[in-house]
Amino acid sequence: MEIANSAALVTGGAGGLGEATVRRLVAAGARVAVADLAEDRAKALADELGDAVVAVRTDVTGEESVQVAVDAASALGELRIVVNAHGAPSSRTRLVARDGTPHDLAGFRRTIDIYLTGTFNVMRLAAARMAKNSVNDSGARGVIINTASIAAFEGQVGQLDYSAAKSGVVGMGLVAARDLSPLGIRVMTIAPGTFFTPAFRMSEEEAQERWGSAVPFPKRMGRPAEYAQLVQSIVENDYLNGEVIRIDGAQRFGPK
């Protein structure tokens, strides 16, 4: 899939992984819609990168909101690239607290809604638009890249809702790829390990000291630019489809 002259939609595009992806795609010649609830940050990024980028305030759980984002991306050209990199504020989730109190059900549902249902919502609406694209020389119309986490495979104590949601994203990948194959639309999933982003709300040095040593090699946290580099590789390689790629420096989460 050629990136140059393609239109792209990046959810969570004003955040750490999403912003790096937007920058990488624009540098490769794409025109990108930055879909994010952080409207001010999305607009600042669009203003910086120029006419190739538009900012769209987007709630991935809302049908109308996502459709507006898909329309905005499509106004830039044929929508051929979608990257779901949106996130949510994290909180520790245990089935039962140490005092015997059960976890709040609404909080669990909210996490599932953002990460899992939100990803499905974007996929279905974007794929419907991609289905109208012309095909390239390999019969392709587009590629959708979802973001899971290594917590989908080795969730730690306190990550119950997050692990459940990300496991669901992993589970959708192959099925979605098979479902969309007659349309020439690929679906891939990236499962990052511990990446440093502004969501940590601390300096990179502090975060590296706390979490970087747990990574076998390189002995540091991941960088958003490395995630974005993988996105570009997936887009450009038409034979990558229906698979999950871990990008984690060989890290495996322990119980805590």
What's 121's domain CATH number? 3.40.50.720
Inside any domain, residue 77: yes
Average pLDDT rounded to a whole number, residues 223-239: 97
In contact, 85 and 18? CB cutoff 8 Å: yes
**CA atoms within a 13 Å half-sphere pointing along the CA-CB vector of 246:** 13
- The helix/strand/coil state of 7 is strand
pLDDT band, very low/low/confident/very high, at 52 (cuts 50, 70, 90): very high
Work out the mean pLDDT of the chain and round it to a whole number: 94
Supply the angle between the helices 39-49 and 16-27 in degrees, to the nearest 10. 20
Domain of 66, in residue numbers? 7-247
Inside any domain, residue 256: no
Inside any domain, residue 173: yes
Per-residue pLDDT of 122-167, as tens digits, reads 999 999 999 999 998 889 999 999 999 999 999 898 899 999 999 9
Inside any domain, residue 232: yes
Checking if the pLDDT of 64 tops 90, the result is yes
Number of domains composing the chain: 1
Tell me the backbone φ, ψ of residue 246, rounded to 5 degrees.
Answer: -80, 135
Residues belonging to the active site: 162
Inside any domain, residue 174: yes
Checking if the pLDDT of 65 tops 80, the result is yes
